Amino acid sequence: MQKHSQLNLADQFFHPGKQKNRTAEFLDRMNQVIDWQPLVDIVRVLDRSGTKKGGRPRPDMLIMVKSMFLQHFYGLSDPQLEELLNDRLSFQQFVGLSMADKTPDFTSFWHFKDELARAGLTDRLFEQVNRQLGAKGLFVRKGTIVDTTMVESTNRLMKKGKQQSEQVQSNRQYDTQARTTKKGNRHYFGYKGHIGMDMESKLINKRIFTTANEHDSKYFEALADMDAKALFGDKGYADDRIKKMAREFGWYYGIQDKAYRNRVLSRGQHKRNSKLGRIRSVVELPFAWMKAPSKALKAGARSQVKNAVIFDFCCLCWNMKQAGLLLAKGP
């Protein structure tokens, strides 16, 4: 048992169960959805407090892992996370902080995410969470819906021909790894978040984070669930290669038809697109949640790998939140 897994008597006195609000109830449900210990074991390689390198002792790994999920459940900045962990008893109870414990400062959270990015551990965290949800029978695997969302950079675009001197590289206003693309009549600068979603459960089965100039259909195979027997997506994924692949594997091909300059859609194709659009529309739900409550569809970091960590945690939090709803409904 972790040393911070239970509150002391004073904590329970000031925060009795009968006074739990919706936030506390939601966080309690997240504790029931996931066994946190395997996640802690994955990130434990970052804890070098017992090595000869020395340095300031790292906060408890369970606290750090749960704090990352807490941050992306509620769209908090690092300073806001520190402040609310000091202020809200429901947050303290969730991460395992007693009233006698000192809350990690916001720089600890920043460094923790930086180390997660450099070690590439979010892939393993995502696989572990989905493995636990799969063990609960939550992935139905009747079909996969693929989609992409823009993750715009909050930094400035490096102008063509501009010397990328050391001074420019260190300037926090520039993002040298983000790229531009055009969607409709609008230009975007930043990245793309690609997901493959289980059609019935609405759980994200796979996710990929790329620069904005990458074409959506390039990652279709990587996002498809090989155990599902149907594929759905918007007209951006219309590709004869994908249609041939679906035919070879015996999958239902549910990609919307795309009109071309010399080939307009027939009435039957419009009708088919409308029917498929109603099916694939549910894939917008996680993106809508990431945009509003999680506030994550803005790339504030200046590197792709750091922004990918944020997107990964949002996908993890969506899956846990959705799993809580599915489990509450019963079989």
Q: What is the pLDDT of residues 172-221, one digit of tens each?
A: 567 888 999 988 788 889 999 999 999 999 999 999 999 999 998 889 88
114 with 224, same domain: the answer is no
151 with 64, same domain: the answer is no
Amino acid identity at 132: Q
Residue 2 lies in a domain: no
Phi and psi at residue 271, to the nearest 5°:
-65, -40
Q: What per-residue confidence (pLDDT) applies to 155?
A: 82
Q: Is the CB of residue 42 less than 8 Å from the CB of residue 121?
A: yes
152 with 281, same domain: the answer is yes
User: Across the chain, what does the average pLDDT equal?
Assistant: 86
Q: What per-residue confidence (pLDDT) applies to 262?
A: 82
Task: Please state the rounded mean pLDDT for residues 28-47.
Answer: 94
209 with 91, same domain: the answer is no
Residue 321 lies in a domain: no
The range of the structural domain enclosing residue 273 comes to 140-159+178-301
73 with 148, same domain: the answer is no
Do β-strands 186-198 and 179-183 pair in parallel, antiparallel, or remain unpaired?
antiparallel
Instruction: Give strand ranges (E) for the chain.
Output: 144-153, 179-183, 186-198, 204-211, 230-233, 252-255, 298-299
Q: What percent of the chain has pLDDT over 90?
A: 61
Residue 253 lies in a domain: yes
Q: What per-residue confidence (pLDDT) applies to 292?
A: 82
260 with 144, same domain: the answer is yes
Q: What is the pLDDT of residues 250-270, one digit of tens each?
A: 889 999 998 888 889 999 999
276 with 147, same domain: the answer is yes
Q: Which residues contact 96 (CB under 8 A, 6 or more apart)?
A: 2, 4, 5, 6, 60, 62, 63, 66
To the question of pTM greater than 0.75 for the whole model, the response is: yes
| Residue 142 CB coordination number (10 Å) | 15
* Number of domains composing the chain: 2
pLDDT top residue among 48 and 97:
97
76 with 216, same domain: the answer is no
56 Rama class: left (phi>0) / alpha (psi -120 to 50) / beta: beta
pLDDT top residue among 55 and 32:
32
108 with 35, same domain: the answer is yes
Tell me, what CATH number does 269's domain have? 3.30.420.10
144 with 291, same domain: the answer is yes
In the predicted model, is pLDDT for residue 327 greater than 90? yes
